[in-house]
Structure 1
Amino acid sequence: MRTMQTAIPAKPAPEPTTDSRPYWEGLARGTLLLQRCAECGRMRHYPRPLCDACHSFAADWIEASGRASVHSWTVAHHPYHPAFRGELPYTVVTADLPEGVRIVAQLRDAQADRLWIGAPLRIGFEDNGEGMVLPVLVTAGGSNK
């Protein structure tokens, strides 16, 4: 009996918009940029056109410190998309940034058993193989830049 092997599809890629383009350009330079409301100063992440606090469309960008701490995590044992099946299991972390926002990204340099709530992390940067840089999380002593 022969088994058919199916080709692994490409990973889904983010599609930058007018509102998120500075974010993606910053990642390409190895910098995490965060959007800040130019009216009330509220930080927001992921970039979007409207401030959820004062409803202003005015925004500017600030460079994040690059530091983070674990808020929560999950270990994926089943891929949400077939392109990720070769990476199983992988850890996805929700991290608090000192700027007052959270980011969700894959943990790259450790297993989930090395995590705890509040564990220090750093933002890393990883080319997705399609010419786009994505944020990842690494332990405070790790390296991924």
Structure 2
Amino acid sequence: MDAFTRPYWDAAAEGRLLLRHCAACDRPHHYPREFCPYCWSEDVAWRQAEGRAVLYTWSVVHRNDLPPFGDRVPYVAAVVDLAEGPRMMTEIVDCPEADLRIGMDLDVAFRAEADVQVPVFRPRRPS
């Protein structure tokens, strides 16, 4: 966390997912950068995301010696397509491996890690 990413982490602590959005080309992007990766404009700002995604791909990690991951194995490392368009690396929670499906609908959730809330995704529950 630094001064640039502080708004992202502050929003996560409130249960909100932020993306960077370019005013010049009207495209969102993730991971947070101070410039647009599409048109290189520096006219970018934070916008709240819907918090919805679909599963693009995943892998079940059975061994990871790096803290804090080693205490959580096995876990599902994933790439999701956010409703706004960008892809995001994340973790899928509250879902048995056998139930994972490409294209499944997901909602953002947040897990406490040290001093921050980390965005993770879980299957969308019927409304």
TM-score above 0.5: yes
2:77 is the counterpart of 1:58 = no
Q: Is the 8 A contact 1:33 1:64 kept in 2?
A: yes
Structure 1, unaligned runs of 5 or more: 1-15
Report the Cα offset of residue 60 of structure 1.
1.4
Partner secondary structure for residue 115 of structure 2: coil
Cα distance in structure 1, aligned partners of 2:87 and 2:49: 11
Q: Is the 8 A contact 1:91 1:111 kept in 2?
A: no
Cα distance in structure 2, aligned partners of 1:23 and 1:52: 18
CA RMSD of aligned residues (A): 1.5
Moved over 6 A (4+): none
Q: Is the 8 A contact 2:52 2:82 kept in 1?
A: yes
For 1:78-121, what per-residue CA distance to the aligned partner results, in whole angstroms no more than 9, with x for missing partners?
Answer: 10514322211111111111101112111110122111110011
For 1:118-143, what per-residue CA distance to the aligned partner results, in whole angstroms no more than 9, with x for missing partners?
Answer: 00110001111x2211001111129x
Structure 1 or 2: more strand by fraction: 2
Cα distance in structure 2, aligned partners of 1:19 and 1:57: 13
Identical-pair percentage: 36
Cα distance in structure 2, aligned partners of 1:127 and 1:85: 16
Q: Give the equivalent residue in structure 1 for 2:68.
A: 83
Partner secondary structure for residue 26 of structure 1: helix
For 1:52-91, what per-residue CA distance to the aligned partner results, in whole angstroms no more than 9, with x for missing partners?
Answer: 1211112112111111110000000110514322211111
Cα distance in structure 2, aligned partners of 1:18 and 1:39: 23
Q: Is the 8 A contact 2:51 2:83 kept in 1?
A: no
Cα distance in structure 2, aligned partners of 1:22 and 1:66: 16
Aligned residues: 126
Larger Rg: 1
Structure 2, unaligned runs of 5 or more: none
